[in-house]
Amino acid sequence: MTKQLTVAIVGATGAVGSKMKEQLIKRKFPIKHIKFLASARSAGKEIEFDDKSYIIEEATPEAFEGVDVALFSAGGSVSAKLAPEAAKRGAVVIDNTSHFRMHPEVPLVVPEVNRGDLAKHNGIIANPNCSTIQMVVALQPIREKFGLSKVLVSTYQAVSGSGVSAIEELRTQSEQWDAGKDVEANILPAKSDKKHYPIARNVLPQIDVFTENGFTYEEMKMINETKKIMHLPELHVAATCVRVPVVSGHSESVYIEVENDATIQDIFNVLKDAPGVVLQDDISQQIYPMPIYVEGEDPVYVGRIRQDLDNKKGFHLWIVSDNLLKGAALNSIQIAEAMLEDNLL
């Protein structure tokens, strides 16, 4: 019989936390007991799960007593403070924030790519950045067959990646535009940065704040995390991350260079059978992936595959996935499922 587990969701009221609830039910995760943790603001309020009502508790170190799996998605500072407390009390933490991702002792896992890394955990597993997850799911099968030397990506990222408040801001700004009112911007491109710009009827070439080298933190996450997950420290990766006025579903234009000769048909064949990937590419019928159609769907969709006109080892791909699902909640639950199957929980 499958082991039944005590699960905690930290950030249960948030955009990703809500999807974690849905995924646990949809995937029939074996739950003995579940607790919902959030800030003191939400403590005492009711939350629905599987047709039952639960009381939200404040996330404190003691709240993790008896917890087997703690799914964190309440921001980096909450993870920094509470993930070690949860691990100390015997929970396996699956952390959706960037806080522990590049820590050498913390596995950073996309099960389709590096499931084997889970066995090396010390109580904390990191769930990668949303844009990185969908990209590596599509690139790993190509890399396995043809090698991979270069990845240049531009993203078109949805506002839900910035949480419930950013979704609300897009809605409000759209209404303000339609009503001919002044458009107010308080959150994007990055809450903690000095200036804020409208996202409605706009695109923002900044996600997160800038680092010293001119790339943003989001771009550096894609660069560093891709190398770590794929175990390719020498891979040439560059990213430009852009926020677009889409609620859910990140899109990416990706240029890759492979090491061995490959034809476009080879790339099609590899992606057709790849785990977690749906090939959606028929230009004669104008078939290609788009965010409004992937919202609520599990897979990573790939289309618009072209061989580069000047470099036979260069290929262009268009990769789209629901950033709150494979990019966040679904990948976290798949990590927990893989750990259960591999007797790591």
Nearer to ligand A2P, 271 or 324 (CB): 324
In the complex, the smallest distance separating the C-beta of residue 126 from ligand A2P, rounded to whole angstroms, is: 17
In the complex, the smallest distance separating the C-beta of residue 12 from ligand A2P, rounded to whole angstroms, is: 6
> Can residue 253 be called a binding residue for ligand A2P (CB under 6 A)?
no
Nearest to 132 by CA among 319, 336, 337: 319
In the complex, the smallest distance separating the C-beta of residue 262 from ligand A2P, rounded to whole angstroms, is: 40
Point out which span in 70-78, 127-135, 281-289, 313-321 binds ligand A2P (CB under 6 A): 70-78
Q: Is 101 annotated as a binding residue?
A: yes
> Can residue 124 be called a binding residue for ligand A2P (CB under 6 A)?
no
> Can residue 39 be called a binding residue for ligand A2P (CB under 6 A)?
yes
In the complex, the smallest distance separating the C-beta of residue 249 from ligand A2P, rounded to whole angstroms, is: 16
> Can residue 241 be called a binding residue for ligand A2P (CB under 6 A)?
no
Query: Taking a C-beta distance cutoff of 8 angstroms, is the pair 132, 228 a contact?
Result: no
Return d(Cα 87, Cα 75) in angstroms, integer: 17
Identify the three-state secondary structure at position 251: strand
Looking at residues 125 to 184 of the shown chain, list those that interact with ligand A2P (rule: CB under 6 A): 163-165
> Can residue 42 be called a binding residue for ligand A2P (CB under 6 A)?
yes
Q: Is 2 annotated as a binding residue?
A: no
Return d(Cα 341, Cα 337) in angstroms, integer: 6
| All residues at 6 or more sequence positions from 204 whose CB lies less than 8 Å from its CB, including other chains | 188, 189, 197, 242, 243
Q: Is 160 annotated as a binding residue?
A: yes
> Can residue 14 be called a binding residue for ligand A2P (CB under 6 A)?
yes
Distance (Å) of CA 301 to CA 138, 197, 278, 321:
8, 30, 5, 6
> Can residue 41 be called a binding residue for ligand A2P (CB under 6 A)?
yes
Q: Is 306 annotated as a binding residue?
A: no
Q: Is 27 annotated as a binding residue?
A: no
Distance (Å) of CA 255 to CA 112, 131, 151, 288, 311:
21, 15, 6, 17, 11
Cross-strand bridge partners of residue 153: 239, 254
Alpha helices in 123-194 (DSSP H): 130-146, 164-178
In the complex, the smallest distance separating the C-beta of residue 16 from ligand A2P, rounded to whole angstroms, is: 6
Point out which span in 36-44, 195-203, 230-238, 323-331 binds ligand A2P (CB under 6 A): 36-44
Q: Is 201 annotated as a binding residue?
A: no
Residues designated catalytic:
130, 250
Token output for 84: 């070690």
Q: Which of 13, 79, 134, 332 binds ligand A2P (CB under 6 A)?
A: 13
Report the residue count for the chain.
Answer: 345
| All residues at 6 or more sequence positions from 263 whose CB lies less than 8 Å from its CB, including other chains | 307
E strand spans, 138-282: 150-156, 236-240, 250-257, 277-279
> Can residue 76 be called a binding residue for ligand A2P (CB under 6 A)?
no
Q: Interface with ligand A2P by CB under 6 A: which residues? A: 11-15, 17, 38-39, 41-42, 59, 74-75, 78, 163-165
- Which residue positions form the known binding site for substrate? 157, 243
